[in-house]
Amino acid sequence: MEMEDKHAIAERLENRRVTLYRLCLSGIALGGGARLLQAYAFASASLVLTVLQVLGAVILLASLLQLWSVYRTIRKDRVLQEVLNDELAVQTQLKSRQAGFFVLLALQLLLLPIAYFYPLNSQLVLELGLFLGVVAVLGMRVVQEELLVIARFRMTLDEDRFEVWNWRKPSFFHYIINPGLAVNELLLGQRVPKVMLIDKQSPRPLAERSYVPCPSCGTIHKGNVWSAQHKTAFKNWYGLYCPHCGETIPCLRNITSWLILMLTYPFWFWKKETREAKWLEKQKQRFQNLPDEPVELDKSVWWKMGVRFGLVMFVLMTFVLKTITLLFDEVEGDLWSYYFDLEFLLVSAIGWAVGGALFGLIMWLILGKKGTGVAKETEGQAS
């Protein structure tokens, strides 16, 4: 019983530690970014940038003090140290440090040609290198959490039966780097699990032989548990809800979403637990009476996906980018003519209609691809 309590305490401390690292990262990004803009991009002082610098410094200092308190708590308890520094955690730390080293090296190599081709102030190069280096180190510490989740998944899965998909898979990596998908993630709550299993022995299409494992209870769920057919594809802002144990299955994070959340983290992290608890209560009702039979996907599903993609990208690339451009450039004429240039809107609409159709076709070719072998019942098995 005492050991179980230690595991619970260790989990809380680890979650708190990761939260504090994220706050440090937010403080550095806000304060350091504002400092660089104030010093080298604007000719006169800006009150907003000054406030951001002070805010970033306060967040960073408070987070570092809290981190020191957490580390002191861990150092005083040998059992907590053993729980938090098991073999898997040590291996993951090594991987994250190696990744951090290469990221730092890549950043320095990036600065060299910039400094060579542009007449940059040597102090700017030094400050920029230091800023990017600190961001990379803290970022790798946060990414370590992601690596640890994936490693724990892989420890408990039968990889002879399943093909394991994670962030290294091209389709998953595309989800991470595509800025347009941040809209789906932040506004619609459409999420992709960090790990997905593909049944290599099933003859069904890819969309129907995809499974999602829950790391908390070991249950392997059919992928269509979170689907438009069940009206559960959206509103998954905190992750995918596991109907078996009531916990949340960790999901990938789009890099644009990650940047937005990182910069705004100090303003909402203190509400996260309360809102997540309310969200979990609502999920119990949403997932109560899901049908057990597999959902047959017809061709209209793919075209609907294409239409959604085309509409989102049309709005994002047409109106949002125009608004961002408006912040930096002066516009000739009135705003109505700027936003509603008929020729531009027509070309953009045709372009994204074709883009949406191609997206739907690609989804049909990929997700509708049938496997080989004999189908077996998988949902509900412990991994």
- Span 73-91, pLDDT tens digits: 888 877 777 777 766 676 6
Quick: pLDDT tens for 23-34: 888 888 888 878
Is residue 72 over pLDDT 70?
yes
Least confident of 11-20, 46-55, 127-136: 127-136
pLDDT value at position 383?
40
Average of per-residue pLDDT across 340-366: 80
Query: Nearest-CA neighbor of 299 among 205, 376, 221?
Result: 205
Both tokens of 101, joined, read 């080293």
Percent of the chain with pLDDT over 70: 67
Average of per-residue pLDDT across 50-69: 85
Is residue 377 over pLDDT 50?
no
Quick: pLDDT tens for 89-135: 766 666 666 666 666 677 667 666 666 666 656 666 667 777 777 77
Residues 6+ apart with CB under 8 A from 61: 27
Least confident of 119-128, 268-277, 357-366: 119-128
Measured in whole angstroms, the distance separating CA 4 from the mean position of its chain's CA atoms is 30
Cα distances from 153 to residues 150, 167, 299, 308, in angstroms, run: 5, 13, 33, 32
CA-CA distance, 301 to 299, in Å (whole number)?
A: 5
Buried b (16+ CB within 10 A) or exposed e, 334-364: eeeeeeeeeeeeeebeeebeebbbebbeebb
Both tokens of 216, joined, read 């908390």
Average of per-residue pLDDT across 137-161: 67
Average of per-residue pLDDT across 335-358: 79
Average pLDDT, the chain: 76
Structure confidence at residue 329 as a pLDDT band (50, 70, 90): low
Least confident of 62-66, 149-153, 284-288: 149-153
Q: What backbone torsions phi and psi does residue 379 show, to the nearest 5 degrees?
A: -60, 140
Both tokens of 124, joined, read 């700017």
pLDDT value at position 94?
65
Is residue 299 over pLDDT 70?
no
Average of per-residue pLDDT across 210-231: 84
pLDDT value at position 95?
66
Cα distances from 243 to residues 149, 212, 221, 379, in angstroms, run: 20, 12, 9, 12
What three-state secondary structure class fits 375? coil
94 versus 239: the higher-pLDDT residue is 239
* Prediction pTM value: 0.67
Is residue 368 over pLDDT 90?
no
Cα distances from 115 to residues 106, 109, 120, in angstroms, run: 14, 10, 6
Is residue 374 over pLDDT 60?
no
pLDDT value at position 1?
41
